Amino acid sequence: MTGSGRTRLSECRGSNTEGTYLAWKNCSAADPQQQWDVDEQLRVIGARQAEGMCVGVKGGVEQAGQRIRLENCDYSDAQRWHLY
């Protein structure tokens, strides 16, 4: 997943545990914290270096400004994404 310009979604503080918030960082194709797997059928984004961890919204609250983080994959609506 790439963002605009030369940034990529990455884990803050280098942790890959549940509750770790995500942020935009400078790109590094070799950085495992910037490598993601997308399951288009289930519509989830998984952290490649952390098996069983998905990108989700804390508490499943959908509102502007809500931070996204790593969570144990439960495939709930809080972890399903529409990718365009």
Is the separation of the CB atoms in 38 and 55 below 8 Å?
Answer: no
Specify if 2 maps to a domain.
Answer: no
Which CATH number does the domain housing residue 38 bear? 2.80.10.50
Q: Is residue 16 part of a domain?
A: yes
- Which domain covers residue 27, as residue numbers? 7-79
Looking at per-residue pLDDT, the higher value among 15 and 81 belongs to 81
What pLDDT digit, counting tens, does each position of 31-74 carry?
Answer: 777 788 899 899 999 988 888 999 999 888 888 888 899 999 99
Q: What is the pTM of this model?
A: 0.76
Has residue 41 been placed in a domain?
yes
Residue 49 within a domain: yes
Please write down the long-range contacts of 46-50, taking CB distance under 8 Å and 24 or more positions apart: 46/73, 47/11, 47/16, 49/16, 50/16, 50/17
